[in-house]
Amino acid sequence: MNPRYRWVIVAAGGLLGCVAMGAMFSLPVFLRPMAEDTGWSVTGISTAMTLAFLAMGTASLAWGSLSDRFGPRPVVLAGSVVLVASLALASRATSLGGFQLLFGLLVGGATAAIFVPMMACVTGWFDTQRSLAVSLVSAGMGMAPMTMAPLAAWLVTAYGWRSAMLAVAGVAAVLMLPAALLVRRPPALDDGAPAGIAAGEAPSGMSVAQAVRSRQFLLLMLANFCCCATHSGPIFHTVSYAVTCGIPMIAAVTVYSVEGLAGMFGRIGFGLAGDRFGAQRVLVVGLLAQAFAVLAYVSVSRLYGFYAVAMVVGFIYAGTMPLYAVIIRENFPLRMMGTIIGATALAGSLGMSTGPVLGGLAYDRLNSYTPMYVGSWGMGLAAMLVLMAFRPFPARRAGAVPA
C-alpha cells in the first residue's frame, strides 16, 4: 500500500473524531431548549452527559479489544452506524429516562468506537512523525466545539431541538460513513509481521494479560487518571467561576472558546516537540506546566486575565493528551494497541468524571472555587511524578529502534 496513504488515515481520523465528539458535545447547546420544550429538569438532561462520559470510558476497552481482533474499519463503521441511529432515536425520545439511555449510554458508547480504534490505528501507520500524526487526529476532534457546536446552535434556533438533533444525525451519517470506509489496518498487521519485534517495543511474546499487569501499564493508567482529574474541574467550572467574579455570562462563555482555540495549536506544538525530544520527556514537562497553569486561575478576576490563563491551559492540556497514545505505541506490541489505549482511555474518563462533582461540592460547601483549583494543582503534580516513575520495558532499552 502506498506509504502516503497514512495521511489519508490521519485525515479520516480527524474528520470522524470531529463529527463524533461534536455530536456528543452538542448536548449543552440543546440543554435549555430541551428543558423548556419538554419540562425535563436541567439536572436530568445533564445526567445524560455524565452517563455519556461513563459509557465512553467503559466502552473504550471493549471497542479497543474488538479493533485489535477484527481491525479498525469494521469497528469504526459499526460505531458510526450506532452513533447515527442513537442520535436519531434520541431526537424522538418522549421520556427523560429514554433520552438518558439513548443519548447517555448509546451515543457515549458509540463515540468510544471512534476515538480508541483510530488512535490505535494511526500509531500503527507511523514509525516517524508519530507524535505529530496522533496530535493531528486529536486536533480534528478538538475542532468539534468550533464546527459542530455552532451548527447545532443554528439548527436548534431555527428548527427546535428535535429537528436539530435529527439533522445532526444526518450530518454524521453523510460524513462519517464514507470516512469510515477509508480506514485501513496498519500494513505491519496486514502483512502478518509480528509487530513489536521490528520496532523494538515490548517483548513480542507478551500477552494482553501480562501487559495489563505490568508496572508500565499501571503507571500509564494512573498518570492518565491524574492528568484528566487535573483539568476536568477547571474545564467544567471556569465559566461559572468567571460569572462569580462579576463577568457577564456571554463574555464568560468566550473563555471556554479561547481555551479550545488554544488547544488546536497545543496539539500541533506538542506533537512536533514529541517527535523531536521524545513523547515521555515532553509529556512530563507538560504535566508540570499544566499543574501550575490551572492554579493560575485563582489569581485572576478580570476577563483579560481569564483569557490569558485559558490560552495557556488550553494549549497545554490539549497538547499533552495525544502523547499517551504515542508512549503506549513505543512500549507495547502493535497487536494490542486498541486494548491498551482503550484501558487508559477508561482511566482518563474516570478522571474526567471527578472534576465536575468535586468542584461543585467544594463550591457548595465553601462558596469558593479556590479549593478546586488547588486540588487540581495537586493532581497535576501527582500525574507528573507518576509519569517520571515510568520506565520502558528492558527489551526496549536494550535494542530499541527510535520511533
**CA atoms of 216 and 392, how far apart (whole Å):** 7
Considering the domain architecture, whether residues 170 and 27 belong to the same structural domain is answered as yes
Question: Model pTM?
Answer: 0.74
Considering the domain architecture, whether residues 178 and 61 belong to the same structural domain is answered as yes
> Would residue 201 count as lying in a domain?
no
> Would residue 193 count as lying in a domain?
no
Q: Which residue has the cell 419538554?
A: 38
pLDDT score for 282: 94
Considering the domain architecture, whether residues 106 and 173 belong to the same structural domain is answered as yes
Considering the domain architecture, whether residues 42 and 120 belong to the same structural domain is answered as yes
> Would residue 402 count as lying in a domain?
no
Considering the domain architecture, whether residues 224 and 282 belong to the same structural domain is answered as yes
Overall residue count recorded for the chain in this entry:
403
Instruction: Identify the CA nearest to 58 among candidates 104, 9, 124, 10.
Output: 104
Burial grade of 82 (CB within 10 A; 0-12, 13-18, 19 or more): middle
Q: Which residues does the chain have with pLDDT short of 50?
A: 192-200, 396-403
Considering the domain architecture, whether residues 216 and 75 belong to the same structural domain is answered as no
pLDDT score for 204: 58
Considering the domain architecture, whether residues 114 and 240 belong to the same structural domain is answered as no
Residue where one domain finishes, among candidates 148, 182, 216:
182
pLDDT score for 11: 92
> Would residue 75 count as lying in a domain?
yes
pLDDT score for 300: 93
The C-alpha cell that represents 348 in the structure block: 482518563
> Would residue 46 count as lying in a domain?
yes
> Would residue 191 count as lying in a domain?
no
Considering the domain architecture, whether residues 243 and 110 belong to the same structural domain is answered as no
Residue where one domain finishes, among candidates 130, 164, 182:
182
Q: How many structural domains comprise the chain?
A: 2
Query: What sign does the dihedral 233-236-238-244 (CA atoms) show?
Result: negative
* CATH number of domain containing 343: 1.20.1250.20
Considering the domain architecture, whether residues 265 and 213 belong to the same structural domain is answered as yes
Domain that holds residue 19: 5-182
pLDDT score for 190: 62
pLDDT score for 221: 93
Considering the domain architecture, whether residues 226 and 154 belong to the same structural domain is answered as no
Considering the domain architecture, whether residues 165 and 241 belong to the same structural domain is answered as no
> Would residue 142 count as lying in a domain?
yes
**CA atoms of 231 and 318, how far apart (whole Å):** 10
> Would residue 194 count as lying in a domain?
no
Considering the domain architecture, whether residues 281 and 373 belong to the same structural domain is answered as yes
